[in-house]
């Protein structure tokens, strides 16, 4: 056994904890408040209880640096915008503190009726004051409200939330380390309507507000503040680097009584390392999960007094860590720097993992034993800190348990499937190539399908009404038997197919009524996945997701969609698209095993989907759509890493799509994306038809496809499915005309932006009737 390193205890930090409550208490409280069933006092009371429980839990588990202000009613970026008074004028409230109504209007629009698209992005419904735009928080599945700043923006202190919550914790006996979103990351995330204006240039105006917050925190007793600057994981331009220097120079000078723990996460410091190490801060946090290689260089370069916070427990994934191996790495660092100058932490805030694996009574005990959610991760952190402070002997049992789990997971028959490994090894380049080039395939498909010009179709799902969800829930609970549930879904499907036929759509879909979610539905039928009951993580505001846990080799024991396709096909003579979710999307929306490369996992899923594609073809499907909604969002943060990702992502798609005959038409669908950066890779996917989201950009997003001479067929969405508004025939005609200015009629499909599952039938019916009218009207003129 190693002897203790140095007397003194290594402090543990969590950087932030889940806000939602072990039983989604925050969601319930918010929804109740929004619907008017309860008042603000009740909502705020629930929030205070959640915070108190979080602090108590961390204190009882031995966390030294307990965060405060990591809680949020909706989103911490929105909190920061409100704190600095960056409230766009449409929301009013340009003096005094910002109240709940304004806050929620910024979050959800003033009607409070936020529409959600099939993959969980929310958008304002077009009536009343719109919500702020929302986008992904770095490369996570958490979405934040994008601050809007303008030239000459005036800032003011408009919320004392960080100070209030610090004091609230203090009153309960917890001395916390408040968390603030750093000013530079805040500005880099903000947008301006004026494209020539860089919000980062506002740093000088913003700093006094932060200074005032720090001053009040200090006056309330805070000595340390955690400043989150995840922008340090991005490639930063000179202006942003200068802003970092200015900001942290200002704090050091104006608020010497506050020690700042500057936190970088979601990646290594990369080219920002020298800059980060030169800033006059008291501590620097490193993400050593995404970038473990940076440790040695940082340790070598860091000035002696700088406290290094070592993010060694994965804050983005749910596997128990190999604690002994971590200690092998950490002990030399501790010897070198001493316990006073090191903290142990997760790689990033624990916001991105579920709360407590002990809530999962039904999980396979073997798999459950491999998992660590927030509570278990805190346990791992304290085990590491104890071992570092008092020697491994002090936590002998816990280390032995960790070793045993690591060994068991490695050896488990559940994880390894020799047939999958063998099949993967046998993948040849030919398997990722269609037999003929697109030009030839299109002829074969044209002969088989004889579609009109500007064929009309939809993206797959039709309204998941309350009735549909109720039936599924009843089936899940056992209140509805499988025969009754199936009969119900058949009825919905039949009605939807007949209706599409009636209104004259050219290519039909079955409606996806049998699916709870476009990823979970497949994951549930594949080997290698497990599911939680309470493993929710925040996607945005009150919307949480429960990602499947991909723990082992993926295989498809039997067809997953063929029976439903066949049934739907039997109801019509029109082409019926088969509907699948692609490998990269399944991967990106799951918690993925960390013992093999993501590219390998992706190929495994691709082979499973490939089998499904073949089975659909054998059953007679002439068109198969493989959705890759999440391909863009899986892009690494640093462009230097993009190509490697895109290579395997594209290869995975091609692997699942290429086993078919020329006359089988492969479609794919992508949600709203900045396509410009990745258009070459999208083309390389070589789908015969791609549908994309373009209606809100008035076809601007089509530009990327035009400029790069995208060769295959395209369906640029003409119907904004995020809004309940029914687009008129004229409006959609105009969008199609714009599209026809840019691409040939033979290349153009007519479809909505995305699936219709979040819309109501009352909206979908007239909208699709209009869409068909727009297409047929235009067709006559061509």
Per DSSP, 313 falls in state E
Q: How far is the CB of 469 from ligand GLN (least distance, A)?
A: 14
* Residue 560 within binding range of ligand GLN, rule CB under 6 A: no
Contacting range for ligand GLN; rule: CB under 6 A; set: 26-34, 458-466, 699-707, 768-776:
458-466
Residue 518 makes contact with ligand GLN by CB under 6 A:
yes
Residue whose C-alpha is closest to residue 314's, from 594, 11, 641: 594
Out of Zn ion, ligand GLN, none, which partner does residue 621 contact, by CB within 5 to 8 A per kind? Answer: none
Contacts with ligand GLN: how many residues (CB under 6 A)?
15
Q: Tokens at residue 190, please?
A: 């903000």
CB of 757 to ligand GLN, least distance (A): 5
Q: Where are the alpha helices (DSSP H) in 546-582?
A: 562-569
Whether 589 has a binding-site annotation, put simply, is yes
Least Å distance between CB 143 and ligand GLN?
A: 14
CA distances from 661 to 541, 696, 761 (A): 45, 36, 36
Structure letter (DSSP) for residue 270? G
Site for ligand GLN in 89-118 (CB under 6 A): 118
47 carries a ligand binding annotation: no
Contacting residue, 76, 119, 434, 722, with ligand GLN by CB under 6 A: 119
Return phi, psi of residue 193, to 5°. Answer: -70, -20
Instruction: Choose the contact partner of 720 out of ligand GLN, Zn ion, none; CB within 5 to 8 A by kind.
Output: none
Give the residue at shortest CB distance from ligand GLN.
Answer: 755
CB of 387 to ligand GLN, least distance (A): 45
Phi–psi pair at 167, nearest 5 degrees: -70, -35
Which lies closer to Zn ion via its Cβ, residue 342 or residue 671? 671
Residue among 11, 147, 162, 460 that touches ligand GLN (CB under 6 A): 460
* Range in contact with ligand GLN (rule: CB under 6 A) among 362-370, 549-557, 632-640, 751-759: 751-759
Contact between 116 and 122 under an 8 Å Cβ cutoff? The reply is yes
Using rule CB under 6 A, residue 716 touches ligand GLN: no
Q: Which residues contact 254 (CB under 8 A, 6 or more apart)?
A: 211, 214
DSSP secondary structure letter of residue 741: H
Q: Is residue 151 marked as binding?
A: no
450: left (phi over 0), alpha (psi -120 to 50) or beta: left
Cα separation of 268 and 249, whole Å? 22
In the complex with ligand GLN, the residue whose CB is nearer, 442 or 632, is 632
The answer to the question of residue 771 lying near ligand GLN (CB under 6 A) is no
- Residue 661 annotated as binding? no
Cβ closer to ligand GLN: 141 or 176? Answer: 141
Pairing of strands 527-530, 549-555: antiparallel
Packing angle, helices 466-477 and 482-503, rounded to 10: 160
Cα gap 767→732, rounded to integer Å: 10
Annotated ligand binding at 754? The verdict is yes
Q: Which is nearer to ligand GLN, 716 or 755 (CB)?
A: 755
Q: Is 584 in the site for ligand GLN (CB under 6 A)?
A: no
Q: Is 26 annotated as a binding residue?
A: yes
Residues 635-694 binding ligand GLN (CB under 6 A) are: 669, 671
Determine how β-strand 577-581 pairs with β-strand 591-592: unpaired
CA atoms in the 13 A half-sphere facing the CB of 725: 18
Residue 709 is among the residues annotated as catalytic for this protein = no
Q: How far is the C-alpha of 139 from the C-alpha of 598, rounded, in Å?
A: 15
- Rounded to whole angstroms, the Cα distance separating 512 from 505 reads 17
25 in a labelled binding site = yes
CA distance 240 to 280: 17
Query: Where does 12-98 show beta strands of DSSP type E?
Result: 66-68
Residue (177 or 669) nearer to Zn ion, CB: 669
Q: Does residue 754 touch Zn ion according to CB under 5 A?
A: yes
Neighbours of 696 (CB within 10 A): 15
Q: Is 627 near ligand GLN (CB under 6 A)?
A: yes
Q: Does 288 bind Zn ion (CB under 5 A)?
A: no
Which SS3 state, helix, strand or coil, does residue 406 take?
helix
Q: Judged by CB, which is closer to ligand GLN: 19, or 119?
A: 119
Among 105, 381, 405, 629, binds ligand GLN (CB under 6 A): 629
Residue 614 CB neighbour total at 10 angstroms: 16
CA 499, CA 508: separation in Å to the nearest integer? 10
Nearer to ligand GLN, 214 or 584 (CB): 584
Site for Zn ion (CB under 5 A): which residue of 671, 704, 771, 774?
A: 671
**Residues designated catalytic:** 722
In the annotated binding site for Zn(2+), the residues are 669, 671, 693, 754
Footprint on this chain of ligand GLN (rule: CB under 6 A): 118-119, 459-461, 512, 518, 579, 627, 629, 669, 671, 754-755, 757
In the annotated binding site, the residues are 24-27, 136, 459-461, 512, 589, 627, 633, 669, 671, 693, 754
Footprint on this chain of Zn ion (rule: CB under 5 A): 671, 754
């Amino acid at each position: 056994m190693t002897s203790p390193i140095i007397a003194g205890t290594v402090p543990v930090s969590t950087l932030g904890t889940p806000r939602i409550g072990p039983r989604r208490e925050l969601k319930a409280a918010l929804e109740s408040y929004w619907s008017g069933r309860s008042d603000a006092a009740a909502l705020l009371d629930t929030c205070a209880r959640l915070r108190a429980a979080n602090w108590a839990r961390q204190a009882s588990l031995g966390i030294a640096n307990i965060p405060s202000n990591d809680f949020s009613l909706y989103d911490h970026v929105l909190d920061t915008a409100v704190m600095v008074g960056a409230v766009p004028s449409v929301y009013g409230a340009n003096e005094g503190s910002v109240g709940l109504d304004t806050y929620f209007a910024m979050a959800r629009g003033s009607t409070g009726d936020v529409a959600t698209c099939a993959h969980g992005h929310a958008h304002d419904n077009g009536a009343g004051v719109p919500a702020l735009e929302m986008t992904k928080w770095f490369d996570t599945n958490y979405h934040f409200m994008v601050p809007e700043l303008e030239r000459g923006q005036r800032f003011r202190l408009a919320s004392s939330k960080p100070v209030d919550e610090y004091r609230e914790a203090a009153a309960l006996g917890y001395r916390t380390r408040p968390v603030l979103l750093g000013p530079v990351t805040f500005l880099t995330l903000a947008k301006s309507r004026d494209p020539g204006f860089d919000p980062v240039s506002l740093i000088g105006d913003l700093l006094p507000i932060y200074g005032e917050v720090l001053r009040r925190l200090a006056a309330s007793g805070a000595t340390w503040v955690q400043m989150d600057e995840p922008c340090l994981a991005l490639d930063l331009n000179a202006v942003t680097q200068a802003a970092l220097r200015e900001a942290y120079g200002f704090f050091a000078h104006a608020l010497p009584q506050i020690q700042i723990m500057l936190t970088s996460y979601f990646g290594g410091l990369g080219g920002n390392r020298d800059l980060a190490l030169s800033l006059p801060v008291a501590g620097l946090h490193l993400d050593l999960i995404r970038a473990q290689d940076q440790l040695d260089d940082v340790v070598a370069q860091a000035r002696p007094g700088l406290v290094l916070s070592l993010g060694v427990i994965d804050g983005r994934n749910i596997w128990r860590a190999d604690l002994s191996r971590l200690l092998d790495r950490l002990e030399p660092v501790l010897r070198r720097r001493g316990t006073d100058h090191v903290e142990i932490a997760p790689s990033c805030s624990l916001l991105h993992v579920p709360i407590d694996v002990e809530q999962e009574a039904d999980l396979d005990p073997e798999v459950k034993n491999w998992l660590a959610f927030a509570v278990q991760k805190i346990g791992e952190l304290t085990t590491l800190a104890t071992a570092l402070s008092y020697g491994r002997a002090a936590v002998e049992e816990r280390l032995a348990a960790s070793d045993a789990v690591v060994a068991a997971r490695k050896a488990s028959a559940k994880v390894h499937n020799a047939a999958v490994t063998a099949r993967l090894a046998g993948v040849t380049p030919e398997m990722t190539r269609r037999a003929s080039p697109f030009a030839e395939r299109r002829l074969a498909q044209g002969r088989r399908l004889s579609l009109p010009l500007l064929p009309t179709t939809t993206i797959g799902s039709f309204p998941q009404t309350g009735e549909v969800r109720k039936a599924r829930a009843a089936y899940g609970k056992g209140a509805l038997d499988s025969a009754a549930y199936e009969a119900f879904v058949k009825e919905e499907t039949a009605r939807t197919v007949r209706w599409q036929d009636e209104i004259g759509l050219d290519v039909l879909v079955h409606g996806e009524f049998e699916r709870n979610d476009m990823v979970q539905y497949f994951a549930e039928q594949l080997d290698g996945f497990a599911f939680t009951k309470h493993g929710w993580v925040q996607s945005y505001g009150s919307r949480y997701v429960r990602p499947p846990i991909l723990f082992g080799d993926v295989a498809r024991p039997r067809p997953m969609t063929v029976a439903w396709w066949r049934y739907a096909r039997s109801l019509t003579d029109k082409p019926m698209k088969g509907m699948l979710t692609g490998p990269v999307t399944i991967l990106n929306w799951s918690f993925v095993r960390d013992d093999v490369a993501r590219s390998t996992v992706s190929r495994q899923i691709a082979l499973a989907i490939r089998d499904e594609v073949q089975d659909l073809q054998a059953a007679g499907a002439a068109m198969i759509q493989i959705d890759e909604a999440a391909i863009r969002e899986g892009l690494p943060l640093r462009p230097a890493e993009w190509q490697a990702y895109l290579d395997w992502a594209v290869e995975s798609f091609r692997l699942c799509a290429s086993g078919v005959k020329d006359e089988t038409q492969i479609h794919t669908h992508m949600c709203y994306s900045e396509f410009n950066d990745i258009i070459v890779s999208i083309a390389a996917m070589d789908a015969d038809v791609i549908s994309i989201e373009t209606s809100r950009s008035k076809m601007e997003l089509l530009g990327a496809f035009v400029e790069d001479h995208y060769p295959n067929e395209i369906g640029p969405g003409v119907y904004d499915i995020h809004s309940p508004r029914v687009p008129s025939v004229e409006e959609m005609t105009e969008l199609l005309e714009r599209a026809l200015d840019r691409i040939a009629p033979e290349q153009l499909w007519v479809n909505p932006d995305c699936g219709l599952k979040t819309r109501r039938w009352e909206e979908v019916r007239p909208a699709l009737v209009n869409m068909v009218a727009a297409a047929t009207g235009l067709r006559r003129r061509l």
